[in-house]
Structure 1
Amino acid sequence: GVSVDIGRGLNLFLGGNGEGKTTILEGACVLLRLQSQRSSSLAPVIQIGKKSFGVRGRFEEHDLEFRYRALRRQVRFDGIEQRTLGEYLRLGRVVSLANVDIDLVRGSSEARRRYLDFLGLQIDNAYRPALRAYERALRARNALLKSPTARPREVAAYNVPLIQQGQVLLRLRGELIELLAPLAAHAYERISAAREKFTLRFVPGASVDFESDLERSHRESIRLRQTIVGPHRDDLELRVDDFPAAQFASEGQQRSIALAMKIAQAEGLKKSGDKKAPLLLIDDIFGELDPERRNALLDNLPADSQKLVTATAMPWRDEIIADTIYELRDRRLRKL
């Protein structure tokens, strides 16, 4: 395992590919949020050949510990095992920035829903139970739809929890976009020096009358053997100067959009709840940015956020002031 003392300001981790830089960031995210910034499941976090993993640390005078083994989780807060996660999860907030963020523009709707969920789970206590209950009902309903012996009455039995939790989720995601859209538009304006206008809009996977949507889509759902309406089909519409960003924006514009959306996440977290700045995990993105975007990103991230930054090479090292610099070589960490 690796032990690291992280400073309050900007902490820089240098090293080649495969040295474990991203693992340090992932460890911080898992410790604070009990989830990976890279995957919707924790199973991929386990090293090949191992059956479990654990991470522990100290954050804001509290001792935190998390262990994961074959779908079993153990969470300790100040040495006491937690049966509920509310107090633990209220402690730390996280925003992750990585090269794969361009998938927010180019990728499938799943990437954009994960973007919303990652924020929603951190700022609204109602989000986690609604999302988990909706996903359970959806899995059960879809399993029945795939069964050749499923009866309409059996399928309909899952409509009630699907509708109840789905309506909550649709409302919460709509509220998230109300928070994020102006922040993302303003961040893009700053990054692009106001050359273009970026807009972010919520495209719900169901209408306000979700129940009627399910009834109308019933035959088609049976034919396709899956539920075809609902929050699991939610998406975000991203436009630059009123053109779809995925089709018409340049790669530079798409990277600026991804940065703006993550800056909006950070600002949204700071505006909500206890108003604390989130921990920022910045994974090897500076090498992909031109100097203008690199400087714009550094200028627009919350100044009081603790930052963990990874890089393979640093020709731009003089451009940033790091409070602490570490080097990873042969999977060993040393302070420079």
Structure 2
Amino acid sequence: MLRLGNTVNAARILGFGSTQPEQVVTNDDLSKIMDTSDQWIRERVGIVERRFAAKDESAEDMAVVAGSNALADAGLEPSDVDTVILANCTSMVPIPNYAAPVADRIGIKGAAAFDLNAACAGFCYALGVAADLVRGGSSGRVLVIGAEKLTDVVDPVDRANAIIFADGAGAAVVGPSDEPGIGPVVWGSAGDLVDLIYMRDEKYIFQEGQSVFRWATTQIAPIALRALDAAGLQPSDVDVLVPHQANLRIVEAIAKRLRKAGAREDMVVADDIVHSGNTSSASIPMAIDHMRAAGRIRSGDVTLIVGFGAGLSYAGQVVICP
């Protein structure tokens, strides 16, 4: 008879961390190199500024910093972690993966380490996998990182896309818990719509903006409600909503639909997109880390997260803020 691993009843998030490049790029800065304006960008996507990495600063570099910050927030040493999952969709080479060298640079030796590509839903996918690994006994503690250098794959003069995307990394540490701190992941994909977001000329990311907007504003709120139902909660139980920071208008549309379904008017809604831009798989953990630092999220808050993007992949779950 086979022996199972050291299974546990539940998993939770132990800490968050993030990092952004130093270079701040405003809408006015972009208007100097393309046909756009501060007003045009604010009205369409709600972004005021974003961060661009230096040429010699990689997604791997940012992942190391974000991951190290998450470990420090959790009060853990690298040796306390045995698995690293790195969500990323902007790697310039398929081999080697980012996770293994990131783990080694952080000081997590001999770790199970792998990349996961679910585009902007990547962090939620990786968090779901991490929670199941911990509950199933395959991992003790898992470092989950979302890290992207989108400026490597964006046409710098494409005003439909260059105004949106930015660089950064966010991370969370997942470990065992006596009480559930991460709800079941609700996930899926719309593979018939993959042509809405793709790599143009196998070089630059491109999306059919209006079609993606319509899909996200109609299909993502129901996914969020399904995640609540899977966790045995009602919309009125949600303290904080953190959707993928794709576009402020999409974020506001999701929040509006949840409030119509019963969410409270005082539900805090992440708006990190305004000053960070769209950082794909990094956006959710980075937004949470920024909101915690600003006092907008408190320990114990019921937080509903939902990611969505190319694939068209989506995933959401309820987490309790550490």
TM-score interval, smaller chain: under 0.3
Q: Which has the higher helix share?
A: 1
TM-score, normalising length from structure 1?
A: 0.26
TM-score, normalising length from structure 2?
A: 0.27
Q: Which has the higher strand share?
A: 2
